Amino acid sequence: MWQTDFSKYREMHIYNCDAVFANQADTYNYVEKMMDGAKVEMLTTATKGVGKNRNLALTLATGDILLFADDDMEYTQNAVEIVAEAFKHFPKADMIVFGIRYAKNGVVFKSRLPKTGRLPFYRALRYGTCAIAVRREAVQRCNLHFTESFGGGCLYSYGEDTDFIVQCYKKHLHIYAWDEAIAVTNKDTSTCFSGYGKKYYFDKGALARHSLGIMALPYCLRIASKKMETELPFFQRIAYLWYGYKSFPQLISYERWVKTRHEEDSDS
């Protein structure tokens, strides 16, 4: 967001591949530049929402294999070679999930490396889209897109990654995993994550209703049972998951739901 030049291309250690930066600011503009033999494009729009931004980037993408990056990522120097090797090893793969390392203050504190092979659905939801590479042909064939209701800057703050991956399974894509990391992501700050509070569980309940169908209940139970840094007891977590689940068909945000509850309490 709010980029004015192409410095992110090198800051993110992008090597030997084209890139599209979907940049959200207060204006509309398109520029492109050749950098180290690669075509780098920047589409700036006065839009909001991570899903809308990624969908705009998809409209410009021309490569055979697409990766989705967050702007706090740094790719490994051989990321392109790792991705190419994985798709060569799994020629029928439509999508491959790779490893990601997480850092705070410049120090890696966690690595999430999947086991190489077919990736079952129940393990896939722990990964974000920054860990995946997908064939552009599969995106177009299956009309895949990012939801514009979930994610940073949207009605519900979390879940655009989960929804995209769920779509891929619903469309019966061939999905694999590869046990090498392609990037390090910086977890020092987050513009949309405010902790595991009431809004977090409310939004997760809405996501379950939107994306998961008959899997919504086990998903909610899994979310409520996970060990997280939260002050909410188990049954309160369940309650807010249910409130979000129940409110989603009317597209009621957590903030609107809280306001309505307060007004009802004042009238009673």
pLDDT greater than 80 at residue 263: no
pLDDT greater than 80 at residue 43: yes
Q: What is the pLDDT of residues 49-92, one digit of tens each?
A: 999 999 999 999 999 999 999 889 999 999 999 999 999 999 99
pLDDT band at 193 (very low <50, low <70, confident <90, very high): low
Instruction: Give the three-class secondary structure for 21.
Output: strand
pLDDT greater than 90 at residue 227: no
Query: How far from the centroid of its chain's Cα atoms is residue 243's Cα?
Result: 23
Q: What are phi and psi of 43, to 5 degrees?
A: -110, 115
Measured distance CA(95)–CA(177) in Å, rounded: 8
Q: What is the pLDDT of residues 85-135, one digit of tens each?
A: 999 999 999 999 999 999 988 899 999 999 999 999 989 999 999 999 999
Cross-strand pairs, 175: 95
pTM over cut 0.75: yes
Residue 225 DSSP code: H
Question: How deeply is 248 buried, as exposed, middle or buried, from its count of CB atoms within 10 A (0-12, 13-18, 19+)?
Answer: buried
Q: How many CB atoms lie within 10 A of CB 110?
A: 10
Instruction: Give the three-class secondary structure for 191.
Output: coil
Q: How many CB atoms lie within 10 A of CB 52?
A: 21
Instruction: Give pLDDT, residue 190.
Output: 58
Domain with CATH 3.90.550.10 in the chain: 7-186
Measured distance CA(247)–CA(266) in Å, rounded: 21
Instruction: Give pLDDT, residue 267.
Output: 64
Q: What is the pLDDT of residues 153-182, one digit of tens each?
A: 899 998 999 999 999 999 999 999 999 999
Structure-block tokens of residue 5: 């030049």
Which CATH number fits the domain 7-186, given the four candidates 2.60.40.60, 1.10.10.10, 3.90.550.10, 3.30.365.10?
3.90.550.10
